[in-house]
Amino acid sequence: MRIGIVACEVLKHEIEFFTKDDPDFVHREYLKFALHEDAQNMKKIILEKTKELEGKVDALLLGYAVCQSLENVTDEMNIPAVMLPGADCIDALLGPEEYKAEKKKCVMTWFSSPGWAEVGRDGFIEQFRLNTVEGYDPQFFLDLMFESYERYLFINTGVGDEELSLRNSKEFADSLKLRLETRPCSLVRIEDAVQQVKMIAGRSH
């Protein structure tokens, strides 16, 4: 079997946890999380990447949830593909019920996974070019973006550099004067997607 991965770098740790030693996964490409800034362009790039894999893989693991513009995007691909369930990457990790429950606890919550946390405050500033406006401290724009938020919730999936994630989460939360909380999360939804794409690849092979 030949399986390709095209995914958001934010979920790299979780996807690699289940696939890194699996020889069936022959292509891996993790795209910059800042693509979410322009949802339609993100969709265009993803479709271009998958087009390049036609004839090279039997199935594709698309490591994205709907993320504003990707609903039914697999119908536009010529490769059998499995994408992650949910509205966004946090939904894909927590599942809709837990996601809803956390929002109910605090509507204005900034959700962070290991991938988001490892990027950290400085990476966030760089990726969204908040440091390119002459005469303005990037913190000015961060304060504007997060002025209505109250809580920073780190979703600990148990993969990646936990110490770095927690340190960066505290730095980010402190800089925005947000309450920092953490919670564990299973990887069952990621694992299910990996198993699904392996089954599809087996049928296509």
Domain-wise residue ranges, the chain: 3-85+187-204, 91-184
Q: Are 12 and 67 in contact, with CB atoms under 8 Å apart?
A: no
Helix/strand/coil for 158: coil
Q: Are 127 and 34 in contact, with CB atoms under 8 Å apart?
A: yes
**Structure confidence at residue 4 as a pLDDT band (50, 70, 90):** very high
Q: Which fold has domain 3-85+187-204?
A: Rossmann fold (3.40.50)
Per-residue model confidence as pLDDT tens digits over 146-205: 999 999 999 999 999 999 999 999 999 999 999 999 999 999 999 999 999 999 998 866
The residue behind tokens 């690849």 is 201
Question: Partners of 59 in the beta sheet?
Answer: 3
Per-residue model confidence as pLDDT tens digits over 31-82: 988 787 788 999 999 999 999 999 999 999 999 999 889 999 999 999 999 9
Per-residue model confidence as pLDDT tens digits over 83-121: 999 999 999 999 999 999 999 999 999 999 999 999 889
Residue 54: exposure state from Cβ atoms within 10 A (0-12, 13-18, ≥19): exposed
Identify the pLDDT of residue 192: 97
pTM: 0.91
User: What does pLDDT average to over the chain?
Assistant: 94
- Alpha-carbon distance of 91 to 82, in angstroms, equals 16
